[in-house]
Amino acid sequence: MRIDVFTIFPDLVEHFCSGSLLGRARHHGALDLRVHDLRSATTDPRRSVDDVPYGGGAGMVLMPGPLFDAVELVEPPRPLFLLGPGGRRLDQEVVEELASTETSAPGGFSLLCGRYEGVDQRVADHLVDGELSIGDYVLAGGESAAVVVIEAVTRLLPGVLGNEASARDESFRSGLLEYPQYTRPGDFRGWEVPGILRQGDHGRIERWRRAMALRRTLEQRPDLVEARGGLTDEERRLLEAVEREVVEEPGRDGQGA
């Protein structure tokens, strides 16, 4: 998967994308990340990329010239997305769409980071293919948004997580949050791991996890449950049955496990 990023702060993006999962994915070749300096095609001694806004107002705006030049010099993989608060909101569905560009020829996509007050509208109108937002708040620049996109997409690429199942089961995959996870110790400061998880009955564990994913989503993100059209009768029955079992469970307090 190739991802090209255009920014006036290439070091910010490079630094974040050199360690941990992203660093490994680049090292092993799953991710071909290319970070380009938006100043690379400037010819004036100050290498300017910004100017005051037409019509007045605070701050500076990135000029179209250097941005078009930098992109045209590289001819990056498309779609090319401008990062900005007005774009399509990133969620796991969008992330999966972006990850699937891996299989299209030439494979990949590109990101353009704004700064200051933003970019000249003609960049949005005539250079990029779309706009992406990471949420309804305003950042100082698109670099942190770019690394959010890159990390979320890269962890879905084949071979990157090591354990393919961890990407398959997690939050949002079925319109639900993930079930709660526990690790050792079984008793931490008197807070016990649910007994069911320690009894080795994989069928029961599976049922419990599905029920907990439902309950957690109902409690924490009812909007997600609503978006998938509520719970099915089967899910409602499962939730009730598992909650009843857990109440009657001898290992509920850790004693039976």
Q: Please give the single-letter amino acid code of residue 188.
A: F
Cβ-based nearer residue to ligand SAH, 128 or 242: 128
> Of these, 58, 138, 165, 247, which contacts ligand SAH (CB under 6 A)?
138
Answer for which of 1, 41, 124, 139 binds ligand SAH (CB under 6 A) is 139
Q: Is 118 a binder of ligand SAH (CB under 6 A)?
A: yes
Q: What's the burial of 37, exposed, middle or buried (CB within 10 Å: 0-12/13-18/19+)?
A: middle
CB of 170 to ligand SAH, least distance (A): 23
Nearest to ligand SAH of 36, 209 (CB atom):
36
- DSSP string for 96-138: HHHHHGGGSSS-EEEEE--BTT-B-HHHHHHT-SEEEESSSS-
Exactly one of 95, 119, 127, 150 binds ligand SAH (CB under 6 A); that residue is: 119
54 in contact with ligand SAH (CB under 6 A) = no
* Nearest-10 crossing angle of helices 20-28, 143-154: 60
Q: How many residues does the chain have?
A: 257
Determine if 84 is a binding residue for ligand SAH (CB under 6 A).
yes
Q: Is residue 106 reached through a cis peptide bond, with omega within 30 degrees of 0 on the bond before it? A: yes
- Asked whether 22 and 150 are in contact (CB, 8 A), the reply is yes
Q: Is residue 142 near ligand SAH by the rule CB under 6 A?
A: yes
CA gap 228, 175 in Å, rounded: 7
Q: Binding residue for ligand SAH (CB under 6 A) from 44, 137, 165, 181?
A: 137
Among 135, 158, 185, 250, binds ligand SAH (CB under 6 A): 135
How many residues bind ligand SAH (CB under 6 A)? The answer is 18
Instruction: Identify the DSSP state of 47.
Output: -
Stretch that binds ligand SAH, among 32-40, 121-129, 140-148, 180-188 (CB under 6 A): 140-148
**Interacting residues toward ligand SAH by CB under 6 A:** 83-85, 113-115, 117-119, 133-135, 137-139, 141-142, 145
